[in-house]
């Protein structure tokens, strides 16, 4: 158990000013309008289409324009813009980014094939000869080919099967090649793109779009984290064992209230030791943020998480965030069920202390296979007692518990009015998927089940 005196007092929910949160439609509608604008640009610059070769070439132009627009959208989704991170949520943005990445790679490949085929038909030659002509005669095409290969390569390593076989840090740093690919593709568009070579307004607007997104990326992913490192001066205050293989790391800093972090959010943590300085991993806050202190709780799964137990007090900390929308901002109903499994209790424990709720309206159900895996027992007991909340443990194997411990029957026995609750859900993927299915069968609407994944 953590022994810092600062943790002893359980706080009542605060009344801080609510941060700005974007909604999904605030992202999806501009994307749809952008696609329409791209098609309008092609239409404006295309007086007529005649012949099969011309049709193929113009289909290549459209896919190229859409690929260029998709590149900007994908960068914007991952620029870590606070309003998007808090409102839409990091996991949803990451899913959109992954899906959009697949579409963009498809558009890039289609663009190259359609342009080559269209030029070959128009020149009355074969595709192989036309490919050689384009590569040798047009330097910018060679540059674009390199960009396309980089896009395809990043797409391959981002596939789920490939990601499982590489370390998170390797996958993370390989993604930096995407920026090189975008730069090469942008130069190619302006050098040979029929929609930009003679249309000054289109060039200005297209360049402005790239510049704005580039500025947002640099500001929020590079400038702000560096500024925060100097502003907040975070250092490890102490490391404390919570359970076998589970430790809490307390981090002290200055002016941490300026971060406007919320219970349920996470940071990307970089601990500046010889072995850990290069790795930035996401860990949730396991206690409500304080003006001078933050806490994370980590279970040993690999080299990085295992090394945290050996951190020394005074170690400098570089933290990016806060990120995530697994917060009180998603709440829609008066009654709330917090459902946690294993080390998924970390953000849930912070929410258990801070979610506004009258006595009897807040319930925590904690699932674990063994009592040795249960953390924060004393903290949870005290929070439940002070707040008049309900705390249930479901501990043991499925055989010990006589079946599925998270079945609709079990959950409705705990909460007969389960379908009148908002549900915050966090835990291992298998447990989360099973719990979501049970909650849906028990009549809880999908929009009232709140979950955030760290698979990004």
pLDDT in the model for residue 154: 85
CB neighbourhood size of 90 (10 A) = 25
Q: Which of 426, 427, 409 is nearest to 418 (CA)?
A: 409
Q: Checking DSSP bridges between strand 266-271 and strand 317-323, what pairing results, if any?
A: antiparallel
Largest pairwise CA distance in the chain: 82
| Exposure b/e, 319-357, CB count within 10 A at least 16 = b | bbbbbbbbbbebbeeebbbbbbbbbbbbbbbbbbbbbeb
State the pTM of this model.
Answer: 0.81
Residue 107 DSSP SS3:
helix
Residue 222: DSSP 8-state: I
pLDDT in the model for residue 255: 93
Between the alpha carbon of residue 71 and those of residues 25, 147, 210, the distances in Å are 20, 12, 9
Q: Are 104 and 70 in contact (CB under 8 A)?
A: yes
pLDDT in the model for residue 392: 94
Q: Are 11 and 354 in contact (CB under 8 A)?
A: yes
| HSE-up of residue 151 (Cα within 13 Å, Cβ side) | 31
Q: Count the residues in the chain.
A: 456
Between the alpha carbon of residue 210 and those of residues 185, 215, 366, 403, 432, the distances in Å are 12, 9, 46, 55, 38
Print pLDDT tens along the chain (456 aa).
Answer: 444 333 433 444 443 456 788 889 999 999 999 999 999 999 988 888 889 999 999 999 999 999 999 999 999 999 999 999 988 988 899 889 989 999 999 999 999 999 999 999 998 989 998 888 888 777 678 888 888 888 888 888 877 767 777 776 677 777 888 888 888 888 888 776 777 877 888 889 999 999 999 999 999 999 999 999 999 999 999 999 998 889 999 999 999 999 999 999 999 999 999 888 888 888 999 999 999 999 999 987 766 677 888 899 999 999 998 999 999 988 999 999 999 998 889 999 999 999 999 999 999 999 998 898 899 999 999 999 999 999 999 998 888 887 889 999 999 999 999 999 999 999 988 889 999 999 999 999 999 999 987 654
Place of tokens 């990120």: 323
Residue 329: DSSP 8-state: G
pLDDT in the model for residue 454: 61
pLDDT in the model for residue 48: 83
Q: Which of 264, 254, 265, 326 is nearest to 290 (CA)?
A: 254
Place of tokens 């190229």: 64
């Amino acid at each position: 158990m953590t022994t810092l005196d600062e943790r002893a007092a359980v706080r009542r929910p605060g009344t801080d000013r609510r941060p700005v949160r974007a909604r999904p439609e605030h992202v999806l509608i501009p994307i749809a309008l952008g696609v329409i604008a791209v098609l309008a640009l092609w239409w404006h610059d295309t007086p007529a289409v005649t012949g099969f070769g011309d049709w193929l070439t113009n289909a290549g132009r459209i896919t190229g324009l859409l690929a260029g627009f998709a590149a900007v959208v994908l960068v914007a989704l991952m620029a870590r813009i606070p309003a998007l991170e808090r409102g839409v949520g990091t996991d949803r943005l990451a899913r959109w980014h992954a899906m959009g990445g697949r579409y963009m790679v498809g558009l890039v490949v289609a663009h190259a094939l359609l342009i080559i085929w269209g030029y070959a038909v128009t020149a009355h030659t074969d595709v192989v000869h036309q490919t050689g002509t384009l590569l040798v005669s047009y330097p910018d095409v060679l540059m674009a080919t390199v960009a396309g290969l980089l896009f395809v390569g990043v797409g391959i390593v981002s596939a789920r099967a490939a990601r499982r076989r590489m370390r998170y840090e390797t996958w993370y740093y390989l993604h930096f090649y995407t920026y090189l690919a975008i730069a090469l593709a942008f130069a190619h568009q302006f050098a040979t793109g029929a929609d930009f070579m003679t249309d000054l307004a289109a060039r200005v607007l297209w360049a402005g779009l790239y510049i704005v997104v580039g500025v947002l990326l640099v500001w929020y992913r590079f400038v702000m984290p560096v500024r925060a490192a100097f502003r907040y001066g975070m250092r490890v205050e102490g490391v404390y064992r919570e359970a076998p293989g589970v430790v809490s790391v307390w981090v002290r800093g200055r002016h941490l209230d300026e971060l406007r972090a919320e219970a349920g959010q996470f940071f990307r943590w970089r601990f500046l030791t010889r072995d850990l300085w290069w790795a930035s991993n996401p860990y949730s806050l396991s206690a409500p943020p304080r003006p001078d202190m933050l806490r994370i709780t980590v279970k040993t799964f690999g080299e990085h998480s295992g090394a945290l137990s050996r951190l020394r007090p005074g170690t400098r900390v570089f933290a990016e965030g806060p990120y995530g929308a697994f917060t009180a901002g998603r709440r829609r109903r008066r009654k709330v069920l917090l459902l946690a499994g294993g080390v998924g209790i970390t953000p849930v424990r912070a929410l258990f202390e801070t979610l506004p709720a009258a006595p009897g309206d807040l319930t925590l159900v904690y699932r674990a296979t063994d009592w040795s895996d249960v953390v924060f027992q004393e903290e949870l007991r005290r929070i439940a007692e002070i707040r008049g909340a309900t705390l249930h443990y479901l501990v043991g194997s499925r055989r010990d518990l006589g079946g599925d411990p998270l079945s609709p029957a079990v959950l409705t026995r705990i909460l007969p009015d389960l379908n009148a609750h908002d549900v915050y859900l966090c835990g291992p993927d298998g447990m989360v998927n099973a719990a979501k299915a049970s909650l849906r069968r028990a009549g809880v609407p999908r929009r009232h089940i709140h979950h955030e994944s760290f698979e990004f």
